[in-house]
Structure formats: structure tokens, C-alpha cells
Amino acid sequence: MKLRLLFLFAALPVLAGVANVHRVPANCGSTRTALGPYGIERWLDGKKWDVIHFNFGLHDLSYLFADDSDKDAAGNYATPHNGGRPNISPDRYAENLRTIIARLQQTGAKLIFATTTPVPEGDAGKYVRGSEAPYNDAARAVMLAEGVVVNDLWAVALPRLAELQIPRNVHFHARGSAELARQVAAAIRAALGTR
């Protein structure tokens, strides 16, 4: 029997034949986006889900200007040095995660949270090197309190960033994405084995 999986970030072809994998049809954005009109209710779509593997963090920690834009009129990214501020503070992020988890738990699905992968020094100033640490710490504490399994993609990627991640970029090249996909698939297979 194929189970229905909902991904709130990346789809996984490595689970072909194991599960019907669904991905939200656009970038999920921050926890604020998830809790807004575009968010969770639309993504869940009133369907039955067996496993939901999710992550929020990168868009929460990215820097924005007071008007919520990531660039000014001259095309400069928001940074800590030009009036930018994190989109969502780590404390607010933790609150938002609790609200998201409460809704996801109502589905009866097994929940797996993926930590945010390392943020390098980058060309887009809206991401600050190492800024994922307080968000991951907050997320781990929330997941522990809520009994949600953590898939630590941060720990998988960190020792191999030079090999897996696009230089000076928060994204991963094909080999890096494939490695993270294997880690995600392993976490999902473990969750499916417990059903």
C-alpha cells in the first residue's frame, strides 16, 4: 500500500514505489507564511496524510527591511548593517512552530521536522553566516516538547559543506540535494516502519 506523504519543502523521487509523495506547489516561506491565508490550511487541502516531513527556518532568519522587502530601491539586500532585521525572531519562530505543530498533529500524520541547513557567508546579504543556530536550537526544543521526530539535516550537511553546498549560497547543488534527499528518505522509511 502506498502512503500519502506531504512535504512542506522538497519532494523525493527516491521514495517512488514506496509512497505517494506530494509537495506544496510553491515555496512555503516563513512560519508567518505558513500561518497566513496561503499557508497550512491550503497545503493540507483537507486530505488524509500519513507522514508530514517539514521545515521552516531559512525564510524566518533572512533579513528584511521594515516594509518586509528584502531589497531596497537601489537593489541592496537587507542586512544587519543597513537597517535590516530578521524576518521572524527566534522566540516568535518557536511560538509559530508550536502553532504549526498543533495544526499538523490534528491530521494524525507522523511528523518529522528537518533542521535548517548551515547558512554560509553569502553573496545575498540577507543571509548571515551561522544565523541558523538559534533557530535550530529553538526548533529542537519545540520538537522535543511536542514529541516530533527531528531529522537533523544541519548535522548531515555541516561536515561536508564544501562538497555539497553551492559556494556562498544557502542552496545545494545536485549532489548535495541528492545526499539530503537520501537522509530525508531514510527518516521517512523509519516513520513508515512504525505505522
Alpha helices in the chain (DSSP H): 31-34, 40-44, 58-61, 90-105, 132-146, 153-157, 161-164, 174-192
The pLDDT assigned to 124 comes to: 76
- Full-prediction pTM beyond 0.85? yes
Question: What's the grid cell of residue 171?
Answer: 542552496
> Residue 49 belongs to what domain range?
3-192
Q: What is the pLDDT of residues 147-163, one digit of tens each?
A: 999 999 999 999 999 99
CA 141 from centre of chain: 16
Q: What is the CATH number of the domain that holds 105?
A: 3.40.50.1110
Q: Which residues of the chain have pLDDT under 50?
A: 1-4, 8-11, 195
Q: How many domains does the chain have?
A: 1
The pLDDT assigned to 10 comes to: 46
The pLDDT assigned to 2 comes to: 39
Q: Contacts for 80-89 with beta carbons within 8 Å, 24 or more apart?
A: 80/128, 81/125, 82/125, 84/125, 84/126, 86/60, 86/61, 86/62, 86/131, 87/30, 87/32, 87/59, 87/60, 87/61, 87/62, 87/63, 88/30, 88/31, 88/32, 88/60, 88/61
